[in-house]
Amino acid sequence: MFGRAADVRRIAAGNRRTALVLRRYERMLAGCSARVERLGAPPAALVLARREALHACLSLERAAALIRKGVAAFQNGLGTAALGATGEPLTAGADGLRRAQLDLPPP
């Protein structure tokens, strides 16, 4: 959303629909560890994938907090620097999830 000019304008304007999408996105990222934990104890073949997933969740949850703060700062005229800080944890989280998938045994 942050890479499309129209979405950025809607975020700046406090567009209700865009705000709902952002909140849903933030909640999804913020709840990553809880969702993995709800799966319960993994079988031996999935222990490494679970560990990688939980590690990725830490980055994604950090990104969620940064998004929340960055959007608020942007809407209050403080620029986009805080939103720019979300790039690293989002990328690290996505990379971690890919590693977790690679650790899954073949079907």
Q: Domain ranges in the chain?
A: 5-102
Give the pLDDT band (50/70/90) at residue 79.
Answer: confident
**Under 8 Å between Cβ of 62 and 89:** yes
Mean pLDDT of 5-14: 84
Which SS3 state, helix, strand or coil, does residue 107 take? Answer: coil
Comparing CA positions, the residue from 67, 68, 62, 71 lying closest to residue 96 is 62
Mean pLDDT of 80-87: 87
**Under 8 Å between Cβ of 67 and 25:** yes
Give the pLDDT band (50/70/90) at residue 94.
Answer: very high
What CA–CA distance (Å, rounded) separates 30 from 48?
22
2 pLDDT more than 80:
no
Comparing CA positions, the residue from 61, 60, 42 lying closest to residue 104 is 42
Give the pLDDT band (50/70/90) at residue 59.
Answer: very high
